[in-house]
Amino acid sequence: ASSTWSSAVAVPTGRSSVRRRSHILANDGSELEDEPKSFKENVEEFIREFVPTLLICLVIRFLIVEPRYIPSLSMYPSFEVGDQLAVEKVTKLVKPFQRDEVVVFRPPSAFFELSGKAPENDALIKRIVGIAGDTLEVKNGALFVNGERQDEPFIAEKPDYTMPKITVPEGCVFVLGDNRNHSFDSHFWGPVPTENVIGKAVVKYWPPWRIATVNANAQ
């Protein structure tokens, strides 16, 4: 089954002072306190401190990196339900996609046609197994890329299905879940346009005992 993703971002809040007082010295050396700040002054101070922090967080969230949550086992054993990872969105603009990279993407139209789901803001995570020009085939419990049997130590088990030869068109990638026999992926609905790719998974950061980099073996 395919995995539908949700994301969340924690936005740090700025520090505001509601009753902050400044201390000054009187002519006789004693310490005096000025009047408490007005509501308007506190609001203005809050805006000055909070808004820049919020804007920075939003820029990071929407343009550079975003967190993602794993809700299914289609990428097991690489990811388990509840894992959280960081997805960076910059290198896709300057570097071609490579085989074995784990990417988050918007499903192609064929996904919705076969699943019967209405198009929404769905996002899936899969591993790239083929790039433009590659010829792929699944037979005898293995994936073949350009005629060469692939060594894939990251998959849960050998695929128990066959897939006839297919050549990945320009501007597309071919993706499969690591849990090959339990993943709704390109062997059902075909290649993914690269323009649909949101970003590349780079770090699995939660839970702490599963912290690890992702895509380290991309080629």
Q: Is 74 a catalytic residue?
A: yes
CB-based contacts of 43, cutoff 8 Å, min separation 6: none
Tell me how far apart the alpha carbons of residues 72 and 87 are, in angstroms, rounded to a whole number: 17
User: Looking only at Cα atoms, what is the longest distance across the chain?
Assistant: 94
In terms of DSSP H, where are the helices of 100-181? 109-115
Per-residue CA distances from 197 to 16, 35, 88 (Å): 39, 55, 11
Active-site hit among 2, 3, 72, 74: 74
3-class DSSP assignment, residue 156: coil
Structure tokens at 176: 């499969």
Rounded CA separation 178/201 (Å): 14
C-beta separation of 66 from 87 below 8 A? yes
Long-range contacts of 114-118 (CB under 8 A, 24+ apart): 114/188, 114/189, 115/2, 115/184
Q: Which residues are catalytic?
A: 74
